[in-house]
Amino acid sequence: MENTTDIEKLAIDTVRILSADAVQKANSGHPGTAMALAPMGHVLWSKALNYNPKNPDWANRDRFILSCGHACMLQYSFLYLTGYDLSLDDIKQFRQLNSKTAGHPEYGLAPGIDVTTGPLGQGFANGVGFAIAQKHLAARYNKPGFDLFNYHVYAIVSDGDMMEGVTSEAASLAGHLELGNIIYLYDDNHISIEGATDITFNEDVSARFRSYGWHVQDLPDVNDIHALELALVNAKAEAQKPSLIRVRSLIAYGSPNKSGTAGSHGAPLGADEIKLVKEFFGFDPDKSFNVPDEVLEYYHSKGARGAASEEKWNKLFADYKVQFPELAAEYEAAFKGELPEGWKANLPVFKASDPKVATRVASGKTLNAVAASLPNLIGGAADLSPSTETNLKGFDSFTSENRGGRNFHFGIREHAMGSALNGMALTKGVLPFGATFLMFSEYMRPPIRLAAIMKISPIFVYTHDSIGLGEDGTTHQPVEQLASLRSIPNVTIIRPADANESVHAWRVAIEKKGGPTVLVFTRQGLPILDQDKYGKAENLEKGAYILSEASKNPDLLLIATGSEVALIMEAQAKLEAEGISTRVVSMPSWELFEKQDAAYKETVFPKAYRKRLAVEMASPMGWHKYTTDEGDMLGMTTFGESAPAEDLYKHFGFTVDNVVARAKALL
């Protein structure tokens, strides 16, 4: 250890041993990286980071992301030592049921965890979203003499993060946007689970990041804490370029037999080796979870400084409220997740006499109708805003020159877009959305799933939702995507039937808390259902509702989502003309319907009426729950074809005559 005082050396070594002990007790985990990076963590939590352990949600705190989440004992150790609401007993319960100290950092579980990480690369890309949100908040709310939002986004990233494709997408975007508030420390330890990284990975990472437009520093030894501190100072001074500090480390530093080996990466060191580690650092080999009083006092004093920083900021904000009361009130409401009064008054209403309109177009009209009254609603597309109708007209683009812009150009980087949206959604005061085609939700599964786990509420907008998009063919026509997305817990999928349902889909998504919303829209035009004659579109919030009632007790229930609702409405007319009493149910969201009480569900799908036909141009998986054993489902059991939409409807049986025939077969 170079340039280190006695208390600093003792403190750093305490973290190394505490991390190793916790993994050993759990008999599961990754001790080596936490041991190696204790000096890095020390410099961050004792010198660089601006935080207040007594208020982990302080708005102007620096954000910290452990992108290599497997090394979470490093983060848990410093959270405990600096005074967060995390105890030594919590450390001892590492990786146990109902513990705050899960096997990877989880947002909302332990205080001080800013984002759930685990899948490598996600934390790296989340940080880009955090950085975007900070720049946007600063542009909207900062005023001369009132630098309210000037925090930085710090992360520790690993060789594994650097190998993942999402990292390249996110790094490219960050460099292009000149996000100088990003400071990432790259643990270059040359080890992964299979062994030395050179079996797969020997590129010049520093050169790669310089080519992205990053400010890069290379440090030869993580144990030189003075060099680390200086590098962080340099990075903070670089206001234009995002910073990467590449730091060489020796995994499991202090372990006589396992340092520098893959054996210390993903498994406990073993009881005998732990004793040797403790002897190496001058600790009692027979004591576990040994935290010297002077170390706890030392780190507590470092954490306690944050209270004064927050108090100073609170005073600044109090003065700001006097000079800028409207902006202050706007931010305070947004921070609490409150929506402006009267925002729903701007929701458009479409008339049945209007021409056909694609739900993607109705979505765009809705977005633009409410944008002015929802200043924290920001977002964009993966190079597809003209196709997804997600451009906010009358508002600027977010660029390196204009941080106040509300339109985001993520480029053809769907994976990074999803991860960045999560970082934005984790920033209180921001309501983000991002758009692409439904087919390309495949690139976004990790961030959608993580948003669901974190119970945060980004809005994922997907258009071109079926074979109805036509000539682009099998590669662009989604088939299995709706079933796949519905299988993810805590995600709300909404596929509206017409323009007015699209309006209320946005209303529900904007009001939604506790999980992400997926909005699914058509490319093709759809008729607008007559709300004076049929069920009201506002019933979309219930997930399923009776759109058109049968002439008498129903012989049959027709159920559909999205564009197929218009199809079953035509089929109902034909069936009723033939004396078959038919109810039509619009079912835009399974998830919203499942939240309704049993009484409401019975009114829509009475148990006595089991002759039911569901129609959806997608995989039939999951529909049996609603169609019953006496029902049927007209869906897609193959991929699509390249042809005009009308030809595809006929080829795959999505015609009035075929729906009528399938319905009659049930009777």
Which residues carry out catalysis? 414
Cα 82 from Cα 302, distance rounded (Å): 7
Tokens 């999803």, residue located: 418
Q: Which of 295, 312, 343, 203 is nearest to 6 (CA)?
A: 295
Q: Tokens for 260?
A: 């520098």
Name the E strands within 545-608: 545-548, 556-560, 582-586
Task: For residue 63, give the amino acid letter.
Answer: R
Cβ-Cβ contacts under 8 Å for 457 (sequence gap 6 or more): 425, 431, 451, 512, 513, 514, 515, 516, 517
Expressed in percent and rounded to 5, the helix, strand and coil fractions of the chain are 45, 15, 40
**Sequential DSSP letters for 568-584:** HHHHHHHHHHTT--EEE
Q: Which strands, in side-by-side order, build the sheet including 377-381?
A: 407-409, 377-381, 431-437, 459-463, 517-520, 492-494
Count other Cβ atoms within 10 Å, centred on residue 341. Answer: 9
The H or E element that residue 154 is part of is strand 153-158
Cα 13 from Cα 89, distance rounded (Å): 20
The number of angstroms, rounded, from the C-alpha of 233 to the middle of its chain's C-alpha atoms is 30
Furthest-apart CA pair in the chain: how many Å? 91
Count other Cβ atoms within 10 Å, centred on residue 65. Answer: 26
State the DSSP code for 70.
Answer: G
Region of residue 455 (phi > 0: left; psi between -120 and 50: alpha; otherwise: beta): left
Q: Which of 370, 309, 327 is nearest to 506 (CA)?
A: 370
Cβ-Cβ contacts under 8 Å for 538 (sequence gap 6 or more): 504
φ and ψ of 361, to 5 deg? -70, -45
**Sequential DSSP letters for 478-529:** -SSHHHHHHTSTT-EEE--SSHHHHHHHHHHHHH--SS-EEEE--SSEEPPP
Rg (CA), the chain: 28
Per the CB < 8 A criterion, the answer to whether 34 and 19 are in contact is yes
Count other Cβ atoms within 10 Å, centred on residue 342. Answer: 8
Cα 234 from Cα 169, distance rounded (Å): 25
Cβ-Cβ contacts under 8 Å for 578 (sequence gap 6 or more): none
The H or E element that residue 378 is part of is strand 377-381
Q: Which residues pair with 66 in a beta bridge?
A: 156
User: Residue length, the chain?
Assistant: 667
| Beta strands 582-586 and 545-548, pairing class | antiparallel
Task: For residue 413, give the amino acid letter.
Answer: R
